[in-house]
């Protein structure tokens, strides 16, 4: 496993982490033993960066991570998120009017730690970024020692740019993959210039870039790939990265034609992201140990410089016109 430095902190994090959304909810049922095994396998494969949220299974994901924290002597970095528990309330009043510190206390208990390495504001609306008190509140929680650092997770690039105005924001998490290439134009360079860590989520476009999904694939009722294709439950950008499903399948077909012999499609997709040195860590999810090993093996695979132009051409042919004007 290769490692990259996280912001201006003295953290060396595995360039492949583990996204733990699927352990909590929205991806069908992941059994307890399977959740424990894939987390353990991740650790065995050299992963030291785990991303979760207080809303993933209402704390279920955090509680599974607490077990691995207790069981290992290795230094691992666990990041959680907060803010979405106030979904449906009046955001415009500002986070200061909500029990944000209580949310942190709840995550501390779920994770079984005295201090959380990194807490991310969980996709707050754009208007929150014009409220300094939101970030002042996070500064206060840092001073109390309950969290070490904080960052933001965003839907739109405009939110990312606003977050950069706050000096203590250490990281920005956003969707970045072969089907969502807009961050290359400006965001990645700005993040590097401002020494902000980039956490790439949705690297496989909800499995579409895994190459195993086709028109006949059926998803469980409690899987967002079944019920959120129209964005009715949450931002559609987190379901198949918001791409047109049929066009996505056509792009996948073309990508398979250029696969190196020793790559799976998911590995090609992850390696493509790692080719961008501004990215700090990629956080693919997994539902079993086999997928974890496939993902983590990418860190040791050769670069794909010769394929980057072809991948861009496929993106521009099938995907770009549908996505590049969105999530700005």
Q: What is the DSSP letter of 74?
A: S
Cα(150)–Cα(292) distance, rounded to whole angstroms?
27
Name the residue ranges covered by the structural domains of the chain.
Answer: 3-323
Q: Which residue has the higher pLDDT, 223 or 273?
A: 273
**CB of 249 within 8 A of CB of 213?**
yes
Tell me the per-residue pLDDT of 243-290, one tens digit each, with 9 for 90 and over.
998 999 999 999 999 999 999 999 999 999 999 999 999 999 988 899
**pLDDT (0 to 100) of residue 212:** 86
Tell me how long the chain is: 328
Instruction: Please give the average per-residue pLDDT across 224-247, as a whole number.
Output: 81
Cα(78)–Cα(17) distance, rounded to whole angstroms?
10
Tell me the per-residue pLDDT of 51-97, one tens digit each, with 9 for 90 and over.
999 877 778 889 989 988 888 888 999 999 988 766 554 444 546 55
Joined together, the tokens standing for residue 54 give 């207080």
Joined together, the tokens standing for residue 177 give 């993959």
Joined together, the tokens standing for residue 115 give 């201090």
Residues near 317 by beta carbon (within 8 Å), at least 6 away in sequence: 251, 254
Q: What's the pTM?
A: 0.92
Q: What fold, for 3-323?
A: TIM Barrel (3.20.20)
Tell me the per-residue pLDDT of 168-208, one tens digit each, with 9 for 90 and over.
999 999 999 999 999 999 999 999 999 999 999 999 998 89
């Amino acid at each position: 496993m290769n490692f990259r430095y996280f912001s201006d902190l003295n953290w060396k994090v595995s360039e492949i982490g583990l996204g733990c959304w699927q352990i909590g909810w929205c991806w069908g049922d992941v059994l307890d033993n399977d959740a424990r095994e894939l987390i353990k396998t991740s650790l065995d494969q050299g992963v030291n960066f785990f991303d979760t949220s207080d809303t993933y299974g209402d704390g279920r994901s955090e509680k599974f991570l607490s077990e691995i924290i207790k069981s290992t002597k290795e230094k691992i970095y666990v990041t959680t998120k907060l803010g979405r528990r106030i979904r449906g309330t009046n955001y415009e009043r500002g986070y200061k009017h909500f029990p944000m510190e209580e949310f942190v206390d709840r995550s501390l208990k779920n994770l079984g730690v005295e201090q959380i390495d990194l807490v991310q504001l969980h996709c707050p609306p754009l208007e929150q970024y014009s409220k300094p008190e939101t970030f002042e509140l996070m500064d206060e929680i840092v001073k109390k020692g309950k969290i070490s650092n904080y960052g933001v997770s965003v839907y739109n690039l405009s939110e990312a740019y606003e977050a950069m105005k706050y000096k203590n924001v250490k990281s920005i998490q956003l969707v970045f993959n072969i089907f969502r290439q807009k961050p290359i134009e400006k965001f990645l360079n700005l993040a590097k210039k401002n020494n902000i860590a980039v956490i790439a989520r949705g690297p496989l476009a909800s499995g579409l870039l895994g190459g195993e999904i086709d028109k006949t694939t059926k998803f469980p009722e409690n899987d967002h790939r079944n019920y959120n294709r129209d964005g009715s439950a949450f931002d559609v950008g987190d379901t198949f990265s918001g791409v047109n499903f049929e066009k996505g399948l056509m792009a996948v077909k073309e990508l398979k034609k250029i696969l190196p012999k020793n790559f799976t499609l998911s590995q090609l997709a992850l390696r493509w992201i790692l080719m961008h040195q501004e990215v700090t860590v990629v956080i693919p999810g997994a539902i079993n140990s086999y997928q974890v090993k496939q993902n983590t093996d990418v860190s040791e695979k050769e670069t794909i410089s010769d394929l980057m132009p072809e991948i861009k051409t496929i993106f521009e042919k099938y995907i770009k016109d549908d996505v590049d004007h969105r999530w700005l």
